[in-house]
Structure 1
Amino acid sequence: MPDLVYRTTEGNPFFTDEVLRGLIERGDLFRRDGVWDRLDIDEIEVPESVRDAIGERLSRLDEDVQSVLAVASVLGQTFGFDDIASLGEQSEDLLERALEVAIEAGLLRSMGGESYTFNHVLTQQTLYEELPPRRRRRLHLAAGAAMENRSPPGRELRAAEIAWHFLEAGEPARALPHALAAGDQAERRFAHLEAEQHFRTAVDLARESGDQAQEAVSLERLGGVLRIESDHAEALDQLEAASLLLAEAADVEGEIRLTAQIALTHAERGTIREGVERVEQLLNKVSEAAPSSALAAIYAALARLYYFGNHQRKSLMAAERAVELARAVSDERILVQAEVRRAAALYLLGHLDEALPSAQGAYQLANRMGDRDSACRALHTISAVHMVKGELVESERFRRLMLAVAEEMDDPNQVAFATANLGLTLIYRGSWTEARSVLQNFAAMGERLGSTWYSTYGATFFAYLEFMQGDTEDAARLRDGATSTEAHSGDPFIQALWAEQEIRTGDPSAAIERLRASFQREEVIIADSIGWAVLAWAQQEAGLPVAEATARRGLEVNEECPHVLHHTDVLRVLAVILRESGKLDESESRFEEGAMLASSIPYPFSEARIRHEWAKLLIARKEKDSARQQLERALAIFQHLGAAPDRERTELALEGLEGKGIL
């Protein structure tokens, strides 16, 4: 007997269970005197498939029970009593009896309350497929209509089911609004892939129904979720298609709203000029438009484009216009986005005393409104302000909060950006082991992120860490794979990190060429001082006489846009240049100032580098004991960080100090 069953079922648990239940119900397998027995093998016929086994068991039920189960199969694997009763096929008494019989037969299970589930999806599918197509469509229509007539909360929660029932009933126009509602509901749960599927269905239904207005809405929603998923190319295709439909319908307000979405997509994609041109084209068309939410949104989007494109004064002006328009029409949703952009521009322009309270206010408003995207961006600015002021503990705290919010949203762009910046803060704090772990998480999400404005940051920070720990091959691989956008070519901080690696590998000319684009603008921003410092270093290595003037320019810039961490780097580079030109007194003063500042933050890597270079000056002055103290302090820090190349250089310097080599 076991061999007979196994040959048919091949050990499939559900199939085996159905066969055995069927044999018992048929009487081929039975208990006699407390012992299981069977008919002769020749008399036993085992169903050839699991569907045959299910069908055989169903056929033994009363017709009323079979009919109830067939109707229930239209509702899916799990259903409620009210749902099946609302179809009006049977009385409640008959339904109750039929459901009890099905539970006793093991074909249904009670889920508690008035919910039921089929014992297996194949049971539901077998029943469903036996229904004549015409009756199946009629039942779907009845189910959709019954759910549609429920109170709004219940109807909204079951939007996906309602859309599916109307779709199966051949009613695309009735399915469409529910497909859109299901997509919106999925987005509120940050279930982006599920939302995408519903919005794609809505686009198809709108086209099938010939409803261009709803097609535009569906395309806009689909484009929005594709942007979150970092599929910027298709997002732009869908949004531009929606924009064309709105232009044909002379829906100016809608066209402005769509252009804002298109601008945000270009910003995150890194195609800044294209995005700005698209917005300016639209603004010229609507120059006489009255204040509106859409107009406020377009200026907020323009502010983000300028921000990503390193035009911070323009970003600030656009953000302030967006704030003005949002307040005029009392739209808090756009207002918080505009305030976030305003705070970010203020930060990069060095107006830290304005930027911090502005970002804090935007964060509070975003939290109150449940706008996690704006909350994330506000947290970035709050953390960045603390970082440039040297308040690294606070900066790390807000970075971790930003990452938690981004992960809750499941937004790959925000998660990547938060991860990268947490890694950077940990590098500054001297927690290089944890920084490596964090930035490895960024590397793991690289394929999902694709080519975006955000993707360069994590790759750049990770490559910098790898290089400083001696893994030059990995650093080069990361550099070659890093996304390069028009925005990043003008980012002095990103370019300074890459340029430093070029200097340390003996190519200062490449570093000078790299940094040239960073200063082809009139405004000064918070990251400029590090760019000037690294440029001066490259010029010094290349033997150019302008190095000192460049380093002093870095000091001037840092006074205009103060960045405490970068100030230590500017002081180190200037002190080295002064030392090499024989200006030892000022050089030592700069070394001492830089070391004290780096130690007070604390910024360990900068402190160690300053002390190592300071020791060379002390050697020139024949102050051997002081030089040894500086080198030993530097060596202890480099060892703790795992900065292998600098550790080795410092060890050689100590050997040279003892006459075993050269400094």
Structure 2
Amino acid sequence: MASDVDTAPLVGRVGTLATLRSALLDDVAPGQTAAVFLTGESGVGKTRLLTEVGERLRQAGALVLTGTCLDIGDASPLHPVRQALRRLDTDVAEARTTSAVRGLLQVFDEETPGPDGAGALLERVTQGLHLVAGGRPLVLVLDDLQWVDRSTRQLLLYLLAGLGDLQLSVLAAIRAESLRGAHPLRRVLTELRRLRSVRVIDLLPLDRAGTDELAAAIVGAPLPPEAADQMWQRSGGNPFVVEELARDRRDGRDGLSDTLREVFLDRVDALPQPAHAVVHAVAAGVEPVEHWLLAQVVKLPEDELLDAVREAVAHRLLVGADDGYRLRHRLVAEILAHELLPAERAALHRRYAEALTAAPAELHQARLAHHWRQAGEPARALPAAMAAAREAERLHGYAEAHRHWSAALTLAATPAPVPPDGGRPGPVEVDRAELLSHAAEAAHHSGEHARALTLLEELAVDPSGPPACALHIRRARYLAAAGRSAPAEEEYRRVLESADCTPRERCTAAARLAELLLHLGRYAEAGDQAREALDLAADVPGSTSEVVLASAALGFSEAFLGDQTAGLAVMRRALETAERSGRPEDVACAYLHLAELLTGPLNILEEGVVVARRGAERVAELGLGRTWETRLLAVATNGLFRVGQWAEAEKVVATALRHRPSGADAVELLLARCRLSVGYGDVEASNRDLEAVATVLAGGGARHVLPMLILRAGLAMWQGRHDLARQAVQRGLTESRSDDVIVLATLAWHGLRAEAEAAASRTVEVDPTAVRRLREVVERVTRKSEKAGAPVRYVADGFLALCDAELSRLDDGRGDPELWGRSATEWDRRNHPYPAAYSRLRQAEALLARRSRVATAGKLLRQAHAMAQSLGAVPLSAEIRTLAGRARVTLDDAPSPAPVPRPRTAPAAPAAPAAPAVDELAVLTAREREVLAAVAEGLTNKEIGQRLFISERTIGVHVSHIFDKLQVRTRVQATAIFLRNRPE
């Protein structure tokens, strides 16, 4: 199974190459011998590695002899050595070496080793190799050593024992599946392992990252996430299989290549009959196949079954573990599925189903449904599928529940087999409305919002479906989750205006509408709607979910519009209520609103990030990883972005993307990632994310329009397209119905900045109408923020300071240094390094334009440059360097960092974090560790003091000491160190 080395790159073997060079050349002293034996399954890349190592050793000055053993036993003595010498004779032009090689070949032609002459022949071969080497290091590279003839084996042992007094290194490759039973090499390798000069290395398949890299190199582009997952599952990381599958994909071939099919069929056909049956049985099963279950299916005596399994494992077709047996390559199952007759396949599945039925356990239901379905008995598969779906829901596995309910719908529509009496088969009896209802809700929870809406439409026309008001509420929920806010609002208002709806339905619609209005930034309306929902809930027993939703919306509204303390208290009580009820969506909603409030208008960023990440962990436990967890991680990403921890934000957003969210959840995450891309100056990635957001928002999604347009404007300005930035801002002013003064102030700043930079660059005429409209927005935000809570006003004032400074650029073409200095101070106080660095740039620019305080301008540019460099803000760094160059200001010589790469394909499964080399918490006292553990839970100083019976002031002192000892500045950084070092 050799790979096509002409086109396939060598992937994932850098460390092995270095190890081999060191063991075969660098660590071998004159007069010594060394050997490395590479073992591994067929196709793992042994031959390719031998070629690469041989070439590198030649370049290092060694004489390399390369030969291959043949699968013909002892019929060709010393064949690989003869082959290596003939190749050398053809390749070299040096007269002395050619003479020595031909002399040694003549020795082989004259003598054949016999019982008495073997020793003499070995001695003459050794002397001949001395002459061939000519004082150079000699490396003998042998492929397929599992077929080595007896004479070559004796020669290797003779040379490695040092009896030939020849400095020699041996590199040999052995197929691991061939070393079974009484193979002579098994004993030889066992003995050689004891020698310090001999190493046996088992060459493993590629890991997930290596598999993705190799496939992408052959196809010419990274594979889509689903294709990459399938490539990994089918190949098991075997390079040969990866190469074949990737070439098929690149060349547009469907199905499996004949090469792969024949290779694996040959390996299966080489098995004894019992092992053959075992492999077929495991291929038909759901992995892992437990030993007791396999015994019920193949019906072999225990001793014969164990021998058969050993054979399959030795042939590298099966892998055994404590939990059962698996195929080493899932590709084998695909190939063998076409080798059995339909009746044979059905019989295997029926034996599996009967065995699982006889061993009742809830966890068997999914497999039981699968096997009955494959056995052609939908009537027996349906109850198992429904039981599996309910079990998945109980364990909060909504993606699995959706799959099982969908299977149940298919089974319910499948005709039963023809009865023996020849009568007409009929469908399985089941309440289809119940199946549709469950399937739609599971699809919604698992993030398949479009599928949920489709199933709901089917349910709406079912005569036994739910009443109209209940359907309106569910459709609104699904529409909101899909990012279609406008039609969702219409559905909720339809329920509230209907005379036919029950008090509970009206209460539910009011609470959910309050939540929707909150997400749309209409905080005053959200508060009024939440109060109405709470009044309705007072008369509806068991309305815990509605109380949680309404309380979260009311708390957010109150904290935003005026009373921070009261609003936060309401939201924390809502979270406590949700945790007591245990309903996953309530818990998720409460965490999300609390995290959004802290990281947004209240600007309590460190605590907000901790709450968001803690909430993400909690909802992941509740099975809402693809939906609510991704939204909470998006909130954490935005908070980390604002405090300047962009590298950490990159890690968080990459983790969230592994869930492949959809609808509004995907939009939240894409917007968070796009903020980083714009800051980094990654234009291509930013445009991709913005296009994706625009596509999802085509069906609605007013909540996300302003953030999308703000990012479009920011990206356009870094590209010098001030006209496009103006269009984005003006569209936002036209379409906005948001009460969020922070978002409006941000939009106004981007608009004024676009006009000011257009004027400075003279590429686009300033639009007086646009400027007048932006001034009106600034005045409106100023008035509205005066009525908002102090934290909201505090954040809005920072953006208003930027607006005032940008207006000074428009008024006199130079800008007011004092206004820009005030803006820098405002953002320093808020711990937002990005706008602080931008403000320093503009302040220095204004000073230089006035030719005053040049030294101060230089200091400001150096400060701004250091801040931008630490973030990785490439466009901002470039603009600072340009201004510094014009002003002849010397900056630090550190190179500008490149944008941090973002994964655009399915990332590999996250590796377990490596434990730190030392305990970073060792510098803390026992009490400081207690305080840090509470900080990591997201508790405030007051809450920590209440828990530890210490005053809030003393807790503040402890936190300061912790920061000093750990050399961090924020609670988020301290929490990261704690989580990295806590005992498992």
TM-score, length of structure 1 as denominator length: 0.70
Aligned twin of 1:215: 432
Q: 1:349 to 1:529 in 2, by over 3 A?
A: farther
- 1:399-410 aligned at under 5 Å gives the runs 399-408=612-621, 409=623
| Whole-Å separation in 2 of the counterparts to 1:130 and 1:268 | 43
Cα 1:617–1:118, aligned 2, differ >3 Å: closer, same or farther? Answer: closer
* Aligned-partner SS, 1:622: coil
How far apart in 2 are the matches of 1:397 and 1:639? 26
Return the alpha-carbon distance in structure 1 between the equivalents of residues 348 and 649 of structure 2.
58
Match of 1:183 among 389, 394, 399: 389
Task: Judge conservation of contact 2:558–2:566 (CA < 8 Å) in 1.
Answer: yes
Q: Tell me, in whole angstroms, the C-alpha distance in 2 between the residues paired with 1:264 and 1:593.
A: 45
Equivalent in 588, 596, 603 of residue 390 of structure 1:
603
From the superposition, tell whether residues 454 and 566 of structure 1 become closer, same or farther in structure 2 (CA, over 3 Å): farther
Alignment match, 1:535? 751
Q: How far did 1:281 drift? A: 4.3
AA paired with 2:787? Answer: E
From the superposition, tell whether residues 17 and 644 of structure 1 become closer, same or farther in structure 2 (CA, over 3 Å).
closer
Residue of 470, 482, 500 corresponding to 2:681: 470
Q: Letter of the aligned partner of 1:598 in structure 2?
A: W
Question: What is the CA-CA distance between 1:203 and the residue it aligns to?
Answer: 1.8
Q: Which residue of 2 aligns with 1:607?
A: 836
2:523·2:557 contact (CA, 8 Å) conserved in 1?
yes
Cα separation, 2, equivalents of 1:637 and 1:615: 15
Q: Choose which of 622, 644, 647 in structure 1 pairs with 2:852.
A: 622
One-letter amino acid of the counterpart of residue 481, structure 1? A
Aligned match of 1:249: 464
Q: What's the CA shift for 1:238?
A: 0.8
Q: Partner of 1:231 in structure 2? A: 448
Aligned residues of 1:216 and 1:243 also touching (Cα < 8 A):
no
Whether 2:495 is the aligned partner of 1:271: answer no
CA deviation after TM superposition for structure 1 residue 429, in Å: 1.0
Question: Superposed, which structure 2 residues align to 1:568-583 within 5 Å?
Answer: 568-578=798-808, 580-581=810-811
Q: Is the 8 A contact 2:861 2:884 kept in 1?
A: yes
The residue aligned with 2:474 is 261
Q: Is the 8 A contact 2:748 2:803 kept in 1?
A: no
Q: Is the 8 A contact 1:612 1:631 kept in 2?
A: yes
Aligned partner of 1:532: which letter? Answer: A
Alpha-carbon spacing, 1:55–1:627, altered in 2? closer, same or farther (3 Å):
closer
Aligned pairs for 1:270-349 (under 5 A) are 270-282=483-495, 284-285=497-498, 287-291=500-504, 295-326=506-537, 328-344=540-556
Q: C-alpha distance in 2, partners of 1:143/1:279?
A: 50
Q: Which residue of 2 is the match for residue 499 of structure 1? A: 713
Deviation at 1:574, TM superposition (A): 0.6
1:182 deviates by 1.1
Q: 1:423 aligns with which of 637, 647, 653?
A: 637
Q: CA deviation at 1:545?
A: 4.7
3-state SS of paired residue (1:218): helix
Alignment TM-score, normalising by the size of structure 2: 0.50
Structure-2 change in CA distance of 1:256 and 1:354 (3 Å): farther
Query: Structure 1 residue 167: deviation in Å?
Result: 6.3
Find the aligned partners of 1:180 and 1:531 in 2 and give their Cα distance. Answer: 50
2:366 is matched with 160
CA separation of 1:449 and 1:597: change in aligned 2, threshold 3 A: same
Say which is worse superposed, 624-633 or 594-603, in terms of deviation.
624-633
Deviation at 1:241, TM superposition (A): 1.4
Counterpart secondary structure, 1:453? helix
Aligned to 1:111: none
The alignment yields a C-alpha RMSD, in angstroms, of 5.2
CA distance in 2, matches of 1:529, 1:609: 17
Question: How far apart are the structure 2 equivalents of 1:336 and 1:280?
Answer: 20
- Partner secondary structure for residue 527 of structure 1: helix
The offset of 1:199, in angstroms, is 0.6
Distance in 2, matches of 1:659 and 1:201, equals 69
Select 2:736's aligned residue among 475, 495, 519: 519
**Residues 116 and 214 from structure 1, CA distance in 2 versus in 1: closer, same or farther, beyond 3 angstroms?**
same
In structure 2, relative to structure 1, the CA distance for the partners of 1:361 and 1:80 (3 Å cut) is: farther
> 5+ unaligned residues in a row in structure 1: which ranges?
5-10, 21-47, 60-69, 86-94, 109-114
Alignment-derived partner of residue 635 in structure 1: 865
1:359 aligns with 2:571: yes
Residue 355 of structure 1 deviates from its aligned partner by: 3.7
Residue 204, structure 1, aligned to residue 417, structure 2:
no
Q: Distance in 1 between matches of 2:618 and 2:411?
A: 34
Seen in structure 2, the aligned counterparts of structure 1 residues 476 and 340 have a Cα distance that, compared at 3 Å, is same
Q: Which amino acid aligns with 1:535?
A: G
List per-residue Cα deviations over 1:324-362 (Å, max 9, x = no partner).
555522243454344444445556667644442233223
Q: Which moved more, 1:593-602 or 1:412-421?
A: 412-421
Q: Structure 1 177/295 Cα, relative in aligned 2: closer, same or farther at 3 Å?
A: farther
- Residue by residue over 1:181-239, the C-alpha shift from the partner in whole angstroms, topping out at 9 and shown as x without a partner, is 31122234454443233212322344468688731121122122322443332221112
Asked if structure 1 preserves the Cα contact closer than 8 Å seen for 2:798 and 2:827, the reply is: yes
Aligned counterpart for 2:827 among listed residues 580, 598, 603: 598
d(CA) in 2 for partners of 1:405, 1:519: 34
Distance 1:347 1:222, change over 3 A: farther
Question: What is the CA distance between 1:529 and its match in structure 2?
Answer: 2.4
**Residue type of the alignment partner of 1:575:** A
Aligned AA (2:456): L
Q: CA deviation at 1:389?
A: 2.8
Aligned CA distance change for structure 1 residues 472 and 117 (closer, same or farther; 3 Å): closer
Shift of 1:53: 8.1
1:503–1:511 CA contact under 8 A, matched in 2: no
Distance 1:174 1:318 in 2: 49
Please tell me whether the aligned partners of residues 752 and 774 of structure 2 are also in contact (alpha carbons under 8 angstroms). yes
Check the 8 A contact 1:512/1:535 in 2, yes or no. yes
Which has more helix, going by share of residues?
Answer: 1
- The residue type equivalent to 2:586 in the other structure is S
CA distance in 1: counterparts of 2:177 and 2:612, whole angstroms:
50
Contact 2:527 2:554 in 1 (8 A): yes
For residues 7-156 of structure 1, the aligned pairs below 5 Å read 156=362
**Percent of aligned pairs with the same amino acid:** 19
CA deviations on 1:262-304 (whole Å, 9 max, x unpaired) are: 222111212223333344445555535243xx55444444344
In structure 2, stretches of 5+ residues that fail to align are 1-70, 74-173, 184-265, 311-322, 415-425, 757-765, 891-984
Q: Deviations over 1:566-595 (max 9, x none)?
A: 43232022123136536999x566444433
